[in-house]
Amino acid sequence: MATRIDLEVNGERHERDVEPRQLLVHFLREELGLTGTNVGCETSLCGACTVLMDGQAVKSCTQLAVQADGTSITTIEGLQTNGEYHPLQQAFWDCHGLQCGYCTPGMILAAADLLERNASPTEREVRDALKGNLCRCTGYHNIVKSVLAAAAGGES
Amino acid sequence: MYPASFEYVRATSAQEAVDLLAQNADAKLLAGGHSLIPMMKLRLAQPAKLIDIGRIAEIRGICEKEGTLRIGSLTTHDTIANSELVRQKCSILAGAANKIGDPQVRNKGTIGGNIAHADPASDLPAVLVALGATVHMLGPNGPRSVAAGEFFTGLLETALEAGEILTEIEVPACCEDGSGCTYLKVEHPASGYAVCGAAAVVKMEDGSCVSASLCFNGITPTVFNAWPNGGPLVGGSADDATIAAAMAELSIDEPMGDIHASGEYRVALARAYGKRALIAARERSGG
Ligand SMILES: Cc1cc2nc3c(=O)[nH]c(=O)nc-3n(C[C@H](O)[C@H](O)[C@H](O)COP(=O)(O)OP(=O)(O)OC[C@H]3O[C@@H](n4cnc5c(N)ncnc54)[C@H](O)[C@@H]3O)c2cc1C
Ligand code: FES
Ligand code: FES
């Protein structure tokens, strides 16, 4: 039996009927067409599906869409403003914080939660904050550099 | 990976959750979902109905009452880890909550879900038993409380009866009564869960140990309480040599072993981390 949900995604309000078993990540990708949120492990470990729910990083493969009712969600598509990259997106570009890019949306949103709480983190704090996000390509160094650069206002 | 189909209903109060449980024998409560949803995706759990308690405000939040901290069962690990009150008055609990999983897991997982699930590799059970916490529940016959030491009864098993909901966890403000406390964890590198977690709470007065508790996660199917009846440190100076000798004698029957760590290795970890946790707790204590 479908359940009605009413939530905000990237500033836009959506009212939909969803099956209770639908995962938030599938709702975002399949119902709203926001495919920037990736599905990696499907087992809560890789962080590729990370989105912000009311400002906090969550793994959207481990939430039901019905749990997101009434919340405000930000996906990678919602980070830029008026065509301008978010400082984290720009820093990942500038510091080569990605290779294949599969982990990148999740990395950026997990980092956004960190910078919201702690505007000038140490390298250790950045690594701790990204503990729930796996990258198969970069070896993490440039990802950490990107987050530190974004915190420092774009200076790497 | 989808869970099997289920019906979904939301409870707006703890009493409503209890009423809904009474009407639906094969329903399960849903809090943060960070143990239940993975289990449902793997079809290890297949409830016919989920009762979402995630929005019940009355069982969320932290306050202080008569020298104890009252933590609503829906309070997230992140809220506990970052609460000034918990950090000041019961630092071991804030520290353990901060060691759970990763930031995303801490943003959603709750203390009630963690202890109701009672995974042997969870971080909070040993800490709550070492602290002498009390677990409050609400059921069809009204409210009821048990000591944390009696709450954890076996592998994924607790004293929670069918039809009951956890409402509040009550922990002593141990940092204010001269006790020192420490939680140390050897974590599994992939999952973040505890291969061994050692929780120590030591109270000293004028150089003499008044009480010492030591509990472990990850070693046995449920919390291992090393010293339920006081233990060898009480009455002495709890110096490093005494602690080392006590840990050399620590015996743990039937430890769990798997591909990550054998039972023998887990016991060796318990001795080593038990020692470090006790020494750190003694150093943090007032006396
Ligand atoms: C990737 C990952 C890593 C993790 N790492 C760790 C770790 O290192 N250490 C650790 O301790 N934990 C870890 N966890 C588990 C995490 O702490 C869970 O959040 C927690 O165990 C369950 O809390 P929840 O609110 O998500 O509960 P849910 O998943 O919603 O529920 C779990 C169970 O508890 C029951 N329940 C929930 N709330 C109540 C209540 N108020 N009253 C009665 N029953 C209730 C539910 O019916 C269900 O059976 C990890 C989880 C994940 C996904
Ligand atoms: S897909 Fe969600 S954590 Fe990997
Ligand atoms: S850039 Fe390929 S997984 Fe991270």
- Are the CB atoms for B284 and B182 separated by under 8 Å? yes
B221 in the same domain as B280:
yes
**Which domain range does residue B17 map to?**
7-52
| CATH code, domain carrying B226 | 3.30.390.50
Alpha carbons B273 and B187: distance in angstroms, whole number: 12
Domain tally, chain B: 3
| CATH code, domain carrying B74 | 3.30.465.10
Q: Please count the other Cβ atoms lying within 10 Å of the Cβ belonging to residue A1.
A: 9
| DSSP state string for A58-100 | EEGGGSBGGGGTT-EEE-GGGS-BTTBPPHHHHHHHHTT--SS
At B178 the pLDDT is 84
> Is A9's Cβ below 8 Å from some Cβ in B?
no
Q: Please count the other Cβ atoms lying within 10 Å of the Cβ belonging to residue B260.
A: 15
A42 in the same domain as A23:
yes
At A156 the pLDDT is 45
* Ligand 3: centre distance to CA A76 (Å): 15
- State CA B272 to chain mean position distance: 21
pLDDT < 50: residue spans in chain B = none
Q: 3-state class of A111 per DSSP? A: helix
Alpha carbons B80 and B89: distance in angstroms, whole number: 12
ipTM value, please give it. 0.97
| Residue at a domain's end among A78, A112, A131 | A78
Query: Is residue B2 assigned to a domain?
Result: no
pLDDT < 70: residue spans in chain A = 154-156
Interface of B with A in 82-111 (CB under 8 A): 101-105, 107-108
Alpha carbons B250 and B200: distance in angstroms, whole number: 14
| Residue at a domain's end among B174, B191, B206 | B174
Of B198, B147, B201, give the one whose Cα is nearest residue B169: B147
Q: Is the CB of A46 under 6 A from ligand 3?
A: no
CA distance B220 to chain A (A): 25
| CATH code, domain carrying A43 | 3.10.20.30
Tally the C-alpha atoms within 13 A of residue B156's C-alpha that lie toward its C-beta.
5
A142 in the same domain as A94:
yes
Query: Is residue A92 assigned to a domain?
Result: yes
Closest partner residue to B8 (CB to CB) among A20, A43, A131 is A20
B206 in the same domain as B156:
no
A57 in the same domain as A104:
no
Alpha carbons B96 and B37: distance in angstroms, whole number: 23
CA distance A53 to chain B (A): 10
| DSSP state string for B43-96 | TS---SEEEE-TT-GGG--EEEETTEEEEETT-BHHHHHT-HHHHHH-HHHHHH
- Are the CB atoms for B131 and B183 separated by under 8 Å? no
Alpha carbons B201 and B181: distance in angstroms, whole number: 4
Virtual torsion, Cα A114, A117, A119, A120, nearest 10 deg: -70
Which tokens in the block code for residue A25?
Answer: 């990540």
Place of tokens 């932290």: B62
**Orientation angle between helical segments A87-94 and A141-151, nearest 10 degrees:** 140
Tens of pLDDT along B111-125?
999 999 999 999 999
Tally the C-alpha atoms within 13 A of residue A111's C-alpha that lie toward its C-beta.
33
B143 in the same domain as B115:
yes
The chain A residue lying nearest B36, using CA atoms, is A62
CA distance A123 to chain B (A): 16
Q: Please count the other Cβ atoms lying within 10 Å of the Cβ belonging to residue B120.
A: 23
Which residues are CB-neighbours of B171 under 8 A, at least 6 positions away?
B68, B69, B71, B90, B93, B128, B131, B133
Give the pairing of strands B165-172 and B134-139.
Answer: antiparallel
Of A49, A88, A56, give the one whose Cα is nearest residue A73: A56
Q: Which residues of A touch B39 (CB under 8 A)?
A: none
At A154 the pLDDT is 54
B167 in the same domain as B70:
yes
**Which domain range does residue A27 map to?**
3-78
The conformation of residue B170, written as its DSSP 8-state character, comes to E
| Contacts of A32-41 spanning 24+ positions with Cβ under 8 A | A34/A9, A34/A10, A34/A75, A34/A77, A36/A75, A36/A76, A36/A77, A36/A105, A37/A75, A37/A76, A37/A105, A37/A106, A38/A102, A38/A103, A38/A105, A38/A106, A40/A102, A40/A103, A40/A106, A40/A134, A41/A134
